Chain A
Amino acid sequence: MSDHGAERAVLTVRDLRIAFSQDGRQIDAVKGVSFEVRRGETVALVGESGSGKSVTALSTVALLGENASVSGSVSYEGTEMIGAPEKDLRRVRGNDISFIFQEPMTSLNPLHTLEKQLLESLALHQGLTGEKAKARVIDLLKRVGIRDVEERLGAYPHQLSGGQRQRVMIAMALANGPDLLIADEPTTALDVTIQAQILELLAELKDAEGMSLLFITHDLGIVRRIADRVCVMKDGEIVETGRTEEIFADPKHPYTRKLLNAEPSGRAPAMPEDGETIVETDGLRVWFPIQRGFLKKTVGHVKAVNDATLSIREGQTVGVVGESGSGKTTLALAIMRLISSDGPILFLGQDVQGWKTKEIRRLRRDMQIVFQDPYGSLSPRMTVEQIVAEGLGVHDMHERRDRREMVAEMLAEVGLDPATMHRYPHEFSGGQRQRIAIARAMILRPRLVVLDEPTSALDMTVQVQIVDLLRRLQMKYKLAYLFISHDLRVIRALSHHVMVMKQGDVVESGPAEQVFAAPQSDYTRALMAAALNLNDA
């Protein structure tokens, strides 16, 4: 774009207020937000979950539900969008302003091929059909970096990887040559190496097309890399706004400072010298047979976990790193005996492989698991007290003391007010829910705790707190942790020993300092480059 347009604002938001009504109550989501996006500029809206950043973005083209009341002003190229007729809005949506969402799987229609998804948008907004449209589709897909485009036109969304799906979404967003692209956490669901590629692609396309970009994210690493200006949002208000370099160099607002410092830091606590070995595996493998034909003949295997050997001692954390599909969660479930596997699993010196469900049930007290999704792992219809106390009932551990007292003590220990024990999970925030899940596992006083991405769904500031809590509990109870994450920062902050997995294979395994200081395999190096690049660029 030429220089004279650079100062003109494409999107101007003035004193935007959004409230949702639920059960007769008004909940203010956005409380008077003002900002603007100029031509050719990238503006990042940063904030933790619940700060109102996504709602702000959706309101620009009136995509909120019926129970939202919006006031203030949003003008696109001088045209007021709030209260504009639906017909005008439709012309702007997808044409002048395009969206990319977080979940590439749910944003694409699973029953349409790539070609059809893209053709629809072209036909709708530009009236392009036939050979011309097809040529344009191929051109678009090439530009977003999809290889072998001609062969992929007939592919369905489920046949693509997450990164490829996000590329298709970007192609759809670009199809009509928008002036403004709104990207709502476009890389959050992707692996780090893919994240870097998508960000590069977005920056490249922005320059080539002369678009403006409104980028919504919680990740400051991404902001620093891509944004020209930053608006920091907290509780529905913009607390600080300015040029990216300035904000990173000299944050004014205490909340911005807190966000910038929110990175799991420190190292794993010292490990007891002569700790007992809690769990050991030797060449553990989880293979799923691929069966074909009428007689279900096994023609091959999906090797979800292939020859994993590890041992965890009392007070030790073994960190398992890998991108999605690397088999790290499968490995955890196999060690927990929640799925079947081959190869010995020695738990406290006994091979529990092949034990019957009833026998395993007695072991459950000593091996516990905390899951990734704090929203999905708590029964929505049970009170916190019932959730935390459930294990006590199963393992008959209440004979000496009142169960409620034990629950109260455990909740206090994980940093929750015991007075909230009769509430339901939906009344808590994500971080608090993860604390409840940790309390549920810890109340049984287990020896081994498997932590399956316990921090991934949480905001950065909350992640730090959870990491601290886990460290404290480990020191106090000499717990053995099997910690699974895709996030190298968290792994570095907690682990004594690191295993790197790729497509079911363990590509590297060794003491944490050694792996981080001098990675042996190429894959580990690539992973670290992507992660550190994002962190420290």
Chain B
Amino acid sequence: MAQLEDLPKAVDAEVEDVKAHDGYAMPPSRRGFLSPLNQRRWRNFTRNQRAFWSLWVFAVLFALSLCAELIANDKPLLIQYRGDLFFPLTNVYPETTFGGDFPTEAAYRDVEVKCLIATGGLVECFDDPEGLIEDAGDGMVNGEAIEAGWSIWPLIPYSYNTPNNLGRPAPSPPDADHWLGTDDATRDVLARVIYGFRLSIVFTLIVTASASVIGIAAGAVQGFFGGKVDLIFQRIIEIWSSTPSLYIIIIMFAIFGRGFWLLVFLTVLFGWPALVGVVRAEFLRARNFEYVRAARALGVSDVTIMFRHMLPNAMVATLTMMPFLITATIGTLASLDFLGFGLPASSPSLGELTLQAKQNLQAPWLGFTAFFTFAIMLSLLVFIFEGVRDAFDPRKTFS
């Protein structure tokens, strides 16, 4: 070993200032946001009009659903009461704040609370709230001046779990109040669709992202090392994939109770082998490439070779698998909810909406809503990823 240290330091011998010694100019340190290859892919993607517009429509819908609380909620966005401003979305105010009786959170949709806010907390609200609200319109009640308040409501004044006093049997058909009607628990369908869309997409993104990371890592290790590692891993994956995951989910839910994160965990647990095959194949192919051998000859470590030199190759194959993975995850969540083994009963689930549609054939608006929500959501995603896949195809030329 000692001799290694004795070797001459190769770098010191040369002159310090390169620019001076040969007269060439150093190139500017240009690092674009996208590499030329990715720029070409983005160009190809934008040329695919259907995919490009699908991406925009989907992005807008998803952005809107992310602020679902501001669009559909059973609390006002802003309250002015006796000259002060209140924000019920972020703060919890007991009813007593507005001159009511209960120390629990104010039920803003109750006509009494509405009356209290409108009239500045008159006690008469408990006797004749509707009359008082009408009376308070001009700032006077029974000839006396009041501290009139106001509140701003979201576009849809119902949350996904708001029960409604319909005065007729639920589910009720669409009307001016409930644009898509109500379901069999008197909840507003439109509000549930907005929240359900968000829940589906967020669930899918989390599950797909985590499953991909695990799957790519596992496939990379198998393909890179090959041999015994590959053999053993493959057998483990075979056993793992043949586990009846539905029963495991049912059993786990029975033990720990239903929950969003538990479902995410279980879906990832059984979803990651999906990508292993393609990534493993790409790595098996790439490990004999000359540039990988060249990197090894440079002394680059295994992990760096895997991530810097080989992973970019595997990414194209991974991306072509992605649309199947995403649509399958949405489908998994919906079917679990449909079967009743999914998310907790009150959560805004599109699968549960489908189940209700099946149980209430006399209320076709439930079925239509569920169908169109799934159809639009899945079509948009398929169009987008079709565009992504084509953009990554080096053989495809776009004019």
Q: Which residues of A contact B (CB under 8 A)?
A: 21-24, 67, 336, 338, 348-350, 360-369, 371-373, 376-382, 390-391, 394-395, 397, 400-401, 404-406, 408-409, 412, 417-422, 424, 437, 440, 444-445, 447
Contacts and interface: CB of A to CB of B under 8 A. Distances in A.
A85 to B, nearest CB: 25
Contacts of A408: 18, 24, 26-27
A465 B27 CA distance: 25
B127 interface: no
A460 to B, nearest CB: 23
B271 to A, nearest CB: 28
Contacts of B155: none
B27 A390 contact: no
Interface of B: 3-4, 7, 10-12, 14, 16, 18-19, 21-22, 24-27, 29-31, 35-37, 40, 289-291, 293-301, 304, 308-309, 312, 397-399
Which of B24, B29, B36, B291 has the most C-beta atoms of chain A within 10 angstroms of its own C-beta? B291
B114 to A, nearest CB: 62
Given A373-B290, A377-B291, A391-B298, A400 B12 contact: yes
Contact of A379 (B4, B37, B291): B291
A394 B24 CA distance: 27
Contacts of B297: 336, 338, 364, 367-369
Contacts of B35: 381, 424
Could you tell me the dominant secondary structure of chain A's interface residues? Answer: loop
Contact of A401 (B11, B40, B295): B11
Nearest to B40: A23
A445 B10 contact: yes
A231 to B, nearest CB: 31
B299 A361 contact: yes
Contacts of B22: 409, 412
Nearest to A359: B1
B74 to A, nearest CB: 52
A419 B26 CA distance: 6
Contacts of B18: 405-406, 408-409
Given A381-B312, A382-B309, A408-B24, 9 more contacts: A377-B291, A391-B298, A397-B11, A409-B14, A409-B21, A409-B22, A418-B24, A424-B35, A437-B294
B10 A394 contact: no
Which of B11, B35, B301, B309 has the most C-beta atoms of chain A within 10 angstroms of its own C-beta? B11
Contact of B299 (A380, A394, A400): A394
B36 A394 contact: no
Nearest to A350: B3
B293 A338 contact: yes
14 contacts: A24-B398, A368-B297, A369-B297, A373-B290, A377-B293, A394-B300, A400-B11, A404-B26, A408-B18, A408-B26, A419-B27, A422-B30, A445-B11, A447-B7
Contacts of A349: 3
Contacts of A420: 27
A41 B12 CA distance: 63
A390 B308 CA distance: 10
Contacts of A21: 397, 399
Contacts of B24: 408, 412, 417-419
The 3 closest A-B pairs by CB, nearest first: A364-B299, A445-B10, A376-B290
A378 B291 contact: yes
Nearest to A385: B27
A437 B289 CA distance: 14
A376 B291 contact: yes
A440 to B, nearest CB: 7
Contact of B308 (A364, A382, A401, A424): A382
A378 B308 CA distance: 12
Contacts of A361: 299, 301
A377 B11 contact: no
Given A348-B3, A377-B291, A382-B308, A390 B11 contact: no
A368 B293 CA distance: 11
A372 B18 CA distance: 30
A349 B298 CA distance: 21
B168 to A, nearest CB: 62
Contacts of B293: 338, 371, 377
Contacts of A390: 295, 298, 300
A336 B294 CA distance: 11
A23 B397 contact: yes
Contacts of A406: 11, 18
A67 B299 contact: no
A251 B291 CA distance: 41
B47 to A, nearest CB: 10
Contacts of A391: 298-300
Contacts of A405: 18-19, 26
B26 A444 contact: no
Given A371-B293, A409-B14, A366 B30 contact: no
Contacts of B27: 408, 418-422
Nearest to A336: B297
Which of B14, B30, B295, B399 has the most C-beta atoms of chain A within 10 angstroms of its own C-beta? B295
Contacts of A67: 397
Contact of B294 (A360, A377, A395, A397): A377
Nearest to A378: B291
A441 to B, nearest CB: 8
A418 B26 CA distance: 7
B227 to A, nearest CB: 13
A23 B11 contact: no
Contacts of B21: 409
Nearest to A362: B4
Contacts of B291: 376-380
Contact of B296 (A338, A350, A365, A379): A338
Nearest to A24: B399
A377 to B, nearest CB: 4
Which of A21, A348, A376, A395 has the most C-beta atoms of chain B within 10 angstroms of its own C-beta? A376
B10 A22 contact: no
Which of A365, A366, A390, A404 has the most C-beta atoms of chain B within 10 angstroms of its own C-beta? A390
Contact of B37 (A338, A368, A424): A424
Nearest to B19: A405
Which of A372, A379, A408, A424 has the most C-beta atoms of chain B within 10 angstroms of its own C-beta? A379
Nearest to B309: A379
Contacts of A24: 398-399
A350 B2 CA distance: 10
A59 B69 CA distance: 65
Contacts of B31: 422
Contact of A440 (B3, B294, B308): B294
B294 to A, nearest CB: 5
B295 A23 contact: no
Contacts of B30: 422
A435 to B, nearest CB: 14
B25 A23 contact: no
Contacts of A409: 14, 18, 21-22
Contacts of A421: 27
A447 B10 CA distance: 10
Contacts of A23: 40, 397-398
